[in-house]
Amino acid sequence: MYIFGSGISNRYPNLAPWSRFGFCFSAVISIGVADFLMRKERIHSHFAYAWSLISPLATLSLLLASEFWFFVAVCLLGALYGGFVLEFFANFGQSTLIGERGRIGALVGSIAVLVMSFLTVISLLSGFVGSVVLCSVLCVLSFLTTRLVTLDSGKSKAEEAHSLERTSGTKRDFFLYLVPWLIYNLVNALLGRYQTPLFIDEFQISILSTVFLSDLMSCIGALVGGFVSDLHGRRTALGIGLTSYGISTVLSGLIFLETQNALPMVLSLVLNGFSWGIFLVLFFFVVWEDLSSIYNSVSYYVALSFYPLSIGLSQFLPSETQFPLAHIALVGCLLIFSSNVFLVAAHELLPPEAKKEIGLFVYIEQAKALFKKRQKEHAETSSGTT
């Protein structure tokens, strides 16, 4: 999706907004279809395998396609991509235990961010043809990741069921966790449309530098969010993410007031990337997987569709808005900070038993480290005495 937005969709400049919207909207529809199929027939890999087999050919066809067939191929790619994403995270949820899901998601998410950052830079430098070839290779490699994720999903789910029976969540938690996710997507779609061009045009920062700084902080945020969610709970990690993004939105408002100070711009990029890393892990790898495990249902994964939907709709925002952007940033900041109220009302998805097990593990590791340190000090003392 990153490579598509940065390189492929610019094949026909006049068609670029529509091609991006077609890709995202097709992904949204296919997420709903894949969710329906998985609830009715327990299909967990069909879209993923179709993506792996059909997408390379569809992507290569973009090299010779006219405008109409280019748009058709793009919509097909979006449809296959959306189903693949839902099935991938559904299988990830079944393949991981609730007490380790955040840490595994943090490692996978941070690696994915670094890889996508590197590939996006290559896509920007290589242009349309390089982006097409790169996407084709990634489509083939996604087949291998699908096989790896689905190997032990049934076994892991059976091991997890016992601890989840004592979890005290309710179905209203889905909506309480969904509201902050919706608010983030809304604010990100409104401000992101104007924020990045402002950084590049007003502060003369190259897009490569922007991508590098933002993705580096996203990697750090993913690690922090994943480990904090397993050690201290999902609500704590999300609260850190929302607070960081709220401060980033305030700084964006200062930038929109036509300030020439580069410090708010740098801090905004840092906090924006950091908060996105937390949201990437929590809202893609953890929260919906936890809810689906607790209630033995995959219907919660449909929340993944709001991200491509917001990105697709943002393509039609005017290049210049009649409303002051600083006011939009202020409203967005108020919405973001108010969304913490929904987190307070929601139940913690991480069971107390998992917290105790993780705390005991950390304590044992600290005791081992202390014991080794004392042993080393004692050996040095003994050798010095002799």
Q: Where along the chain do its domains lie?
A: 2-345
Question: Are 130 and 123 spatial neighbours (Cβ–Cβ below 8 Å)?
Answer: yes
The closest alpha carbon to 6, from 110, 119, 85, belongs to: 119
Per-residue pLDDT in tens (0 to 9) along the chain, 386 residues: 544 544 455 566 677 778 888 888 888 888 888 877 777 665 556 666 666 666 666 666 666 667 777 788 788 878 878 887 887 888 888 888 888 888 999 998 898 888 777 766 666 665 555 555 555 555 555 555 555 554 444 444 444 443 444 444 457 788 889 999 999 998 888 887 777 777 666 666 677 777 788 889 999 999 999 999 988 889 999 999 999 999 988 888 887 776 667 778 888 889 999 999 999 999 999 998 888 877 766 678 888 888 888 888 887 777 666 667 778 888 888 889 888 888 888 888 776 666 566 666 666 777 777 777 777 777 777 766 65
Q: Is the dihedral of CA 295, 298, 301, 302 positive or negative?
A: negative
Q: How far is CA 197 from CA 77, 102, 143, 159, 193, in A?
A: 27, 33, 36, 49, 8
CATH architecture label of 2-345: Up-down Bundle (1.20)
CA within 13 Å, CB half, 221? 29
What would the two tokens of residue 303 be?
């929340």
